[in-house]
Amino acid sequence: MEHKQWPLWEIFIRSRQGLSHRHVGSLHAADAEMAVENARDVYTRRQEGASIWVVPASAITASSPDEKDVLFDPADDKVYRHPTFYDLPDEVKNM
Amino acid sequence: MWNQRIFEVLMEMDLLQRFEAYVASEKKIEPKDWMPDAYRRTLVRQISQHAHSEVVGMLPEGNWISRAPSLKRKAILMAKVQDEAGHGLYLYSACETLGVRRDDTIRDLHSGKAKYSSIFNYPTLNWADIGAIGWLVDGAAIMNQVPICKCSYGPYARAMVRVCKEESFHQRQGFQIMMTMAGGTAEQKAMAQDALNRWWWPSIMMFGPPDQDSPNSAQSMAWNIKRFSNDELRQKFIDLTVPQADLIGLTVPDADLKWNAETGHYEHGPIDWDEFKRVVAGHGPCNKERLEARRKAWDDGAWVRDAARAHAEKRASRKSDSNTAAA
């Protein structure tokens, strides 16, 4: 019988309180509980984690690299969104 | 039709040129980006073989977990072997981002189509071998892996950063075993020397064939998958390791080994590449045993994988039934 693979889960770890969860990799598991247990063993053997998120890889919608220009180029010519765009007189020390 | 084909070829050439310029400027490629087929194939081959090496590498060491000389050594060895499993998983996960199925990757190992580092086809005969593996085999692996942390393929580079961080404990624990034995009784020292004698040459073969016989290296270097040539890495390893052997009073088993003050490098004797080829071709002391152990683990675990899956599906369907009932 052809074995059906366990689904793929993307793993996100919060390394300590105060930081956001960060993608660390993926793994296979039969269900969400097993994915959390496996993520504990695979990605937090050296106290790297305070919290784990597991997300079915199939549930992620990603932007396509082909859309990179359309999505991100419009920000290129909006330098006025950065504070460095504005010249201030030397007298203004902190703003 | 013909025009369409020419257009596609031109597009491909343009993409390839842009890809190569992009990679040459030290930028990273991520899974969904366009990449030449040969780049993808090279990575799948290299990353899967790397993953297989981590997993098969658990076997020679696992052999000594139940016979470690103390509880402390046993706990350390278990942690190391567990790390190797983890490294295999980081790498399988990186490999999968290139669009290959995990099960197919593993099937290629079991069928013999995919290779793994041939160092693991040598037996671990006594406890000193565990020291020699950590010191030499993990030492050589680190030498090979550190440059891959800057590889052009993002997921492989990231996996390698984690692996290298964890691997340095492996080498230190191995060196400590050798140091302890070399400083012990005459019999213990002889065991350490014997282990060094058996593992030295296979370890320096881990860097692969000499540069003139490594035809794919140039392409991998151009794509920033490989950073240093096989011979360069081998030389670095020898230069670093020989003084360590001296320090603990062991002798590297190479009668031609000598320091060249002019070049600042050690010169070594001829490497038996026929032995290397024999072992890669499947005729090392443990090739058969290693593959059989992997196949057996996979086959014996099949019912567990199937049962876990059936259980998960059943629970999921019960959940959706009760949701429907509630609605």
Residues B53, B47: Cα–Cα separation, whole Å:
10
Which of B82, B90, B93 is most worth mutating to test chain A (most A CB atoms within 10 A of its CB)?
A: B93
Chunked into runs of 10 residues, chain B (327 residues) has average pLDDT values of 77 88 94 94 97 97 95 97 97 96 96 95 97 97 96 97 93 97 98 98 96 88 93 97 98 97 97 96 95 97 95 90 72
Q: What is the pLDDT of residue B105?
A: 97
- Give which of B276, B206, B213 is closest to B241, Cα–Cα: B206
Cβ separation of B306 and A31 shorter than 8 Å? no
Please name the residue that has the structure tokens 């899967």.
Answer: B48
Structure tokens at B104: 């197919």
pLDDT at A79: 92
The Cα B313–Cα B303 span in angstroms is: 15
Nearest alpha-carbon partner for B206 in B122, B298, B104, B294: B122
Secondary structure (DSSP) of A3-58 = PPPPPEEEEEEE-STTS--EEEEEEE-SSHHHHHHHHHHHH-TTS--SEEEEEEGG
Beta bridge partners of A12: A23, A53
Closest CA to B120 of B269, B244, B297, B293: B293
The HSE-up count of residue B127 (CA atoms within 13 Å, CB side) is 21
pLDDT band at residue A1, thresholds of 50, 70 and 90? very low
Strand intervals (E) in chain B: 258-260, 265-267
Percent of chain A with pLDDT over 70: 97
Q: Which of residues 135-194 of B touch A (CB under 8 A)?
A: 155, 158-159, 166
DSSP one-letter string for B84-126: HHHHHHHHHHHHHTTT--HHHHHHHHHHTSS---GGGGS---S
A6 in B contact zone (CB under 8 Å): yes
Mean pLDDT of chain A: 93
> In this structure, what token pair is assigned to residue B264?
């600042």
Q: Higher-confidence residue: A58 or B12?
A: A58
Torsion angles phi and psi, residue B74, rounded to 5: -65, -45
The dihedral built from the CA positions of residue B222, B95, B122 and B181, taken in this order, carries a sign that is positive
Tokens linked to B318: 């019960």
DSSP 3-state of A65: helix
Q: What angle, 0 to 180 degrees and rounded to 10, lies between the N-to-C axes of helices B102-111 and B287-300?
A: 140
pLDDT at A2 over 60: no
Our CA-based measurement puts residue A27 at a distance from the nearest CA of chain B, in whole angstroms, of 6
Tens digits of per-residue pLDDT, A19-51? 999 999 999 999 999 999 999 999 999 999 999
Q: Cα B272 from chain centroid?
A: 21
Chain B, nearest residue to A5 by Cα: B103
